[in-house]
Each structure stands twice: as C-alpha cells, then as structure tokens.
C-alpha cells in the first residue's frame, strides 16, 4: 500500500467534494461546464422565485413508500408538514425585541467558513476584507497568502455558504447577519485541494480563535468524502485530533452529510468528516420534511431545508460585469449546513443573553431538544428537523440555572371593577366565563371586571398558566405584532394548549371556545381534533375547527396546520386566495398555499378544496399504497382510496401521480371534441387552448373522455407541438447528463488513501 502523502494533489477518483448536489465544486470543472451545470436562476433579487428553473417533480422515492399509518417513531399527524423555514424564523426573531434588548442576529461571534474562499466584495458580504468589514480575516491555504478570495473558474461555493450564514443586503438576509466571518480557502482556482490544507485550516481556527474582536464559535465545513473503512482510518488519523481540539475549545464544527444517497455503495453512511464524533452532521429535507433524495442518512442526523436555497455567488460565475451582486438558488446538504451552523450561533447568543455560560454540549442539547423527530422510510434512520423558534423558547435543562418562579394563584376575594392584579398563574372558577387575553402591550387577561397582568420574564423557563376552569368557557386572544405560535387541543385531550413568542410562553387549560386574532406578525397556528367527528373550514383570513365540546377560530394568521388524527369521521373545507394557489394532495395530507397564505390538513377522511377566488390555480394529486380511483375534469377533480377522498374544484391545471402502489385508475374529461391529447405507456395528458393541462402519470388504467364519451387515443398521437411531448424526457436526459459530468469532474483530497503503490 502506498504511504499517505498529505500534500498529494487531488485526482479523478471519488472522494471529498463540496457537498452540493447540482453544483459540485470539482477539481477540473471548467467555467463553461460549470455554467452549463447551473440549473438555477440568477438575479439581483434572490427572493424572486420566478427566476428559478427548479420545477415540481414527481413524488420522491422517500415518499412513494411511506405509510403514515404504519410508521413508528413519528407522529402521523405531522407527516409531510413543511420544515420550519430557518431563514424566515431568523428574520422574525430579529424583528422582535428580546428581554435583553439585543436582536438575535449572531453579533459577538465569528464563524469560520472552510471552503473555496469567499467573494468578500459581494454586496451581501460587506464589500471589503479585514477589520471593520463583514469578512474580518482569513487565509488562502491554496496560494499561501492572506487573500482568501473565491476565484474562478471553479469558485462559487464558499460565497454561497457565507451568504446563507451571515449575508446581509437589501434583498438577502442570512440567519446570523451580524456575525463576523473568517474565510479559510482550501481549494485553488481550478478546484484542486490538498488534505494538508484542510488540516492546516482546522489548526488555524484553534490558534486564532480569540484573535478577533468576537471569538470564533462556529466552523462550517461543507465538504466531505465517501470512504471505505481503511481510507476512513487514514483520514481520521490526520484530522480527528484537530476536530477534537476544536470541540474542547467550545467551537462547534458543522459538516454536510453528503449528497450521494442512492448513487454509491457508501450511500447509507455519512461522508467524512461529517461522520466524525467531534462534528455535527447536517442533512437536507424537502418541502415535506422528508430527507431529500440526495441526502445521506444516519440515526440522529440534524436536518433542515437544503433545496432551492438562495444566496450570494461571485461575479465571475455569470461573467464579469463589475457588479458583485449576483445570487443563485442551489440544492444540497451544503446549503442546509450553514443554516444549522448559524442557528447554533443564535442559540448561543440567546443563552448568553439569559445570563448563562453555555458550553458546546449545552447548545447542542438546546438545539436537539427542540427538533421534530422523524423516521426515514427507506433506511429506518431517525433524523431531527431543526426548529429555531422552538430552540430559542426551549426550557433550559437541569444544568442551566432557572429564574425564580412563584406559582401564585389569583386571590378570588378581589372583585372590585377593573382591579389590576399582578399574577403568575390564573385559575378560573367552574362557572361559564368569557375571558380576553390581550398581548398587544405585555400580557393582560381580562375576566369579570378584573385585569390580571403577567410578567413574561419567568415564562421562558416556566410557562404562565391560564386555567379557565370547568365551565363552558370562552377565551378571546388578541395577538401582538410579534410572531406568535398557537397550538390548540380540545379540553378532552391530555395535551396542553399553548401560545408563545420569542419573549413569553403561556399554557392554556380547559378552553372550549377560542378566538385568536393575529396581530400582524408572522403567526402560525396548529389546531388538533378530538376523538369524535370534527369539521375544518379554512380560507384566507379565517380558519375554524369545531367538534363536540369545542370550537377554535383563528383570524388573520398566515400559516395554518390542522391535525385530525384522534378518530372520528373528519371533514375539511379549504378555500383559495385571489392570487395563484397550489394544491398538493396525498393520503392523509392536503395543503393549499399561495404567496402569503399556507393551510395544511392532516388525517381528514374527506377533504374539499375550492379554487374560486381567482388567480391561476394548480393541483397535484398523489395516490396511496392501495387501489385508488381518480377523475379529472374542468369543474372538479376527485381522488379516492382506502379511508380517504379528496375533491378539488375550479383548479386550472391538474397533475396526478400513481406511484404508491395498488391498481390505480384515472379518467380525464375534456369539454370539447378534437382536444389536444398525448398518451404514452405511463402518461395521459390533455392540453387546453389556454395552456392549462390535465396530466396523469403511472396509472395502471387511463381513459380519455370528450363530452363525457370515451375516446381512443393512439400512443404518440398529438395535435400540439412534438416538443411538448418530449419535453420531460429531454429535461431528464439533460439532468442526468449534468449529474454524470459533475461526478466525473469531482475529485478528492483523499484520492490516494488506501490505493496500492505502483510496482
């Protein structure tokens, strides 16, 4: 076996790479191939999603085999719920004023980005380099100088990562936009690297951790290699001591899990260094909180959205124009990793603001304790989806000092009108009461002519309790301008209802009738059903869930999640907005979203969705593992299967997928004769003169109707351009060819580890 050479240039074997699925930073990828591989939109406004070419795709394999009723270790009610948007949550938190008075924005900390360098002159990254700028320092290990710029033709990756971490401009905000950044460049202009450069970069972090005004607390390492046992041992012998030393320094190192799942014999394990015990591995999830098709899997993996993530890229990526203000939308665990790394920085800042002295383990405990645990159906591995707001509001562990808290019940002898009483707990009577909880100026509860005021300070460690008693009580909550999260359960449930923000948490007990009026912040409401028959009526501006013994009404809240999993025959009625709406239907899950409103219904036996308010509305329907029947027409589309039925009325375009199993049947109806049809072995498509479509894919039996009479369609017969018929296959070929070329171009600093010496 050849002796290990730490200074060996990387070659053409698989191994360490920038952990990004579509845009791997490769050793020999020239700029023209890089641009051809860019299947994303670029813009001076990264929030303009219309410029991204990422389009909806058929149900990922991780969802095709998922059965919410039979999986273990996961609440079926939360299946397919979108993951918390960490970038959005961070924006919400910055808009609030914590008790410390300091916005949660990462200030007081420095993050080291070990990558391809950073285009420090980018408008979102401060426009300069050195003290006084956002990128305050660093080193170029490839060129042995103090200018770690993200040069072409291969550079772009480190700049994108840095923007997600701490970017700040008129059109982009990273998660920790006031954190300082250190750039450590370990790949040269062509994407070549040396293992010693990574090793030296880790040593550099240790040696310079306290050199800057704000200490280095976090390292982002979005590179990795899929190694066999022998190669892994060699790599660990080089890097493990340095990684362990950083952990002992209290510095958290986050590494991308890798993007090779399903593509190699090593796809069931984490890439290295994400596999190190001294590193926090990060995976990617899709819009339904399922692990992305490319993301590596492992028990205990932390994960967040890694698809279509907007951030900064250097000027050279799309040609020099002299303005370093370009942005790109990329996929990969590389894009998820900086989000989690920056989240840890906000948690650290929050804990310090609470008067704590958190260790690295304390921060990770707070991070993990507030996650949403899920099970990957393909591997059985559990993974944890990050929730930033929950982490900030999390109750400290026993190792953290608790603020003094006194449970003082209300003195029921105080009955004078409009008396103001300072309390930490409210316990109502057994009479029928109407209460008002006003959150606009502190926490104020009005009941029976009395006004009760609560101090929010202690609620972060021990929630305020409002128990309305055993009567038929109603509670009207008036929200504040801050982002608030409401979770309601019927009184018959053993689960606690809560409302919380970044500055308080309140536990609600015994509430039969609730009205919540959002105060204009980025609010979120989660409503849960009873064991009986319940009904949901939801649309822009108002949502109502009712059943025997309870009624919950939520007004002016932009994100609604309703779970019907406790039993009974539950029905849901969802209504669209006046804009463009998208309906997604899966067994036991339906969502309807627009630009500013999202509503999701879980576990309902009957769902009725209406697109009647205007806009260009589309629907995507997926089958179950059983036998499903679907019909699609201009007025209504219906899918039904074992235990569920969904009806969608008024949607302009409908696409249906049958890849979950069973013997599935679809019928597509056209209003006029001589319509534009296309049929292949696994697809039936109708296209209207206005461009609307009705498409069915993967059904065992497909039938076309015109004026409600069945018609025969010969395969490949078209009355619209042939290009349309072949569009999908051409796109797939392009995607596959791009991926093939990227993998061929990807090279590794671990190339020669374990290889045989030449004779």
Which residues are the active-site residues?
115, 157, 334
Q: Using the 8-state DSSP alphabet, how is residue 421 labeled?
A: E
The DSSP element (H or E) to which 336 belongs, if any, is helix 333-353
Contact 190, 746 (CB under 8 A): no
Strands (E), 65-159: 110-115, 135-140
**Cα 137 from Cα 128, distance rounded (Å):** 10
The DSSP element (H or E) to which 198 belongs, if any, is helix 195-207
**Cα 403 from Cα 178, distance rounded (Å):** 28
- Phi and psi torsions of 669, nearest 5°: -110, 135
**Cα 577 from Cα 610, distance rounded (Å):** 10
Q: What is the β-pairing status of strands 382-385 and 372-375?
A: antiparallel
**Cα 52 from Cα 201, distance rounded (Å):** 34
Phi-psi group of 286: left, alpha or beta (phi > 0 → left; psi -120 to 50 → alpha; rest → beta) = beta
Distances from the Cα of 475 to the Cαs of 412, 444, 452, 521, in angstroms?
19, 13, 14, 20
- End-to-end alpha-carbon separation of the chain, Å? 10
Question: Can you name the residues that pair with 618 across neighbouring β-strands?
Answer: 582, 653
Contact 641, 605 (CB under 8 A): no
**Cα 662 from Cα 224, distance rounded (Å):** 40
Q: Could you give the dihedral angle defined by the CA atoms of residues 655, 661, 662 and 664, in that order, rounded to the nearest 10 degrees? A: 10
Q: Give the helix ranges, DSSP H, for 8-139.
A: 31-37, 61-64, 86-94
Contact 623, 664 (CB under 8 A): yes
What are the contacts of 411-417 at 24+ separation with CB within 8 A?
414/450, 415/448, 415/449, 415/450, 416/449, 416/450, 417/449, 417/450
For residue 456, what are the contacts with CB-CB under 8 A and spacing of at least 6?
A: 99, 442, 443, 464, 503, 504
Q: Is 645 helix (H, G, I), strand (E, B) or coil?
A: strand
Q: Could you give the dihedral angle defined by the CA atoms of residues 148, 150, 152 and 156, in that order, rounded to the nearest 10 degrees? A: 160
Distances from the Cα of 635 to the Cαs of 33, 73, 537, 631, 669, in angstroms?
46, 40, 21, 11, 10
Q: Considering only CA atoms, which of 450, 498, 502, 456 is closest in space to residue 477?
A: 498
Contact 116, 156 (CB under 8 A): yes
Helix axis angle for 333-353 and 86-94, nearest 10°, is 30
Contact 266, 228 (CB under 8 A): yes
């Amino acid at each position: 076996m050849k002796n290990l050479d730490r200074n060996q240039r990387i070659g053409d074997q698989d191994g360490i790479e920038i952990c990004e699925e579509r845009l791997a930073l490769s050793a020999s990828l020239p700029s023209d191939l890089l641009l051809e591989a860019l299947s994303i939109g670029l813009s001076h406004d990264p929030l303009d999603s219309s410029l991204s070419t990422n389009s909806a795709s058929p149900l990922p394999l991780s969802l095709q085999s998922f059965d919410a009723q039979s999986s273990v270790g996961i609440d079926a009610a939360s299946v397919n719920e979108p993951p918390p948007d960490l970038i959005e949550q961070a924006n919400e938190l910055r808009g609030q004023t914590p008790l410390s008075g300091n916005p949660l924005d990462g200030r007081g900390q420095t993050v080291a980005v070990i990558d391809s360098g950073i285009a420090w002159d980018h408008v979102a990254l401060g426009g300069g380099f050195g003290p006084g700028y956002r990128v305050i320092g660093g080193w170029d290990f490839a060129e042995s100088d103090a200018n770690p710029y993200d040069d072409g033709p291969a550079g772009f990756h480190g700049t994108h990562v840095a923007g997600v971490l701490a970017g700040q401009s008129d059109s982009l905000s990273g998660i920790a936009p006031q954190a300082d950044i250190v750039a450590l460049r370990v790949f040269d202009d062509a994407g070549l690297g040396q293992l010693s450069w990574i090793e030296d970069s880790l040593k550099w972090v240790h040696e310079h951790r306290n050199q800057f005004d704000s200490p280095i607390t976090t390292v982002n390492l979005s590179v990795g290699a899929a190694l066999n046992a022998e190669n892994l041992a060699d790599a660990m012998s080089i890097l493990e001591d340095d990684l362990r030393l950083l952990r002992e320094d209290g510095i958290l190192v986050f590494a991308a899990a890798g993007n090779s799942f399903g593509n190699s014999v090593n796809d069931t394990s984490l890439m290295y260094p994400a596999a190190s015990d001294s590193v926090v591995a990060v995976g990617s999830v899709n819009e339904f909180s399922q692990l992305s098709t490319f993301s590596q899997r492992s028990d205990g993996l932390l994960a967040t959205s890694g698809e279509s993530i907007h951030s900064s890229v250097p000027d050279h990526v799309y040609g020099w124009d002299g303005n370093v203000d370009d942005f790109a939308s990329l996929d990969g665990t590389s894009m998820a990793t900086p989000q989690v790394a920056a989240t840890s920085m906000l948690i650290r800042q929050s804990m310090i603001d609470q008067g704590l002295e958190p260790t690295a383990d304390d921060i990770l405990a707070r991070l993990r304790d507030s996650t949403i645990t899920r099970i990957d159906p393909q591997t059985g591995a559990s993974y944890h989806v990050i929730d930033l707001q929950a982490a900030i509001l999390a109750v400290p562990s026993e190792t953290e000092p608790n603020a003094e808290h006194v449970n003082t019940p209300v003195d029921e002898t105080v009955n004078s009108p409009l008396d103001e009483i300072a309390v930490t707990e409210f316990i109502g009577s057994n009479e029928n009461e109407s209460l008002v909880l006003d959150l606009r100026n502190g926490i104020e509860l009005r009941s029976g002519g009395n006004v009760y005021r609560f101090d929010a300070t202690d609620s972060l460690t021990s929630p305020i309790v409002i128990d309305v008693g055993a009567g038929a009580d109603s509670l009207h909550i008036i929200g504040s301008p801050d982002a608030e999260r409401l979770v309601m359960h019927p009184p018959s449930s053993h689960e606690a209802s809560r409302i919380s923000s970044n500055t308080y948490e309140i536990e609600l007990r015994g509430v039969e009738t609730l009205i919540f009026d959002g105060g204009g912040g980025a609010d979120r409401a989660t409503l849960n059903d009873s064991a009986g028959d319940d009904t949901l009526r939801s649309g822009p501006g108002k949502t109502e869930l009712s059943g025997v013994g309870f009624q919950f009404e939520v007004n002016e809240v932009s994100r609604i999640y309703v779970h019907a999993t406790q039993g009974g025959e539950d029905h849901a009625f969802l209504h669209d907005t006046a804009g463009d709406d998208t309906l997604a239907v899966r067994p036991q899950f339906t969502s309807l979203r627009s630009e500013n409103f999202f509503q999701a219904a879980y576990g309902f036996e009957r769902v009725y969705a209406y697109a009647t308010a205007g806009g260009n509305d589309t629907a995507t329907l997926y089958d179950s593992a059983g036998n499903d029947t679907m019909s699609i027409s201009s007025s209504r589309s219906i899918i039904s299967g074992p235990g569920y039925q969904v009806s969608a009325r008024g949607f302009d375009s409908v696409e249906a997928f049958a890849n979950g199993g069973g013997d599935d049947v679809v019928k597509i109806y056209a209003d006029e004769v001589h319509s534009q049809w296309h049929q292949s072995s696994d697809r039936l498509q109708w296209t209207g003169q206005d461009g609307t479509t009705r498409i069915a894919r993967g059904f065992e039996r497909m039938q076309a109707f015109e004026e409600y009479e069945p018609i025969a369609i010969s395969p490949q017969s078209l009355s619209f351009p042939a290009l349309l018929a072949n569009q999908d296959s051409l796109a797939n070929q392009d995607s596959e060819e791009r991926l093939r070329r990227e993998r061929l171009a990807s090279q590794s600093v671990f190339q020669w580890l374990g290889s045989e010496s030449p004779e």
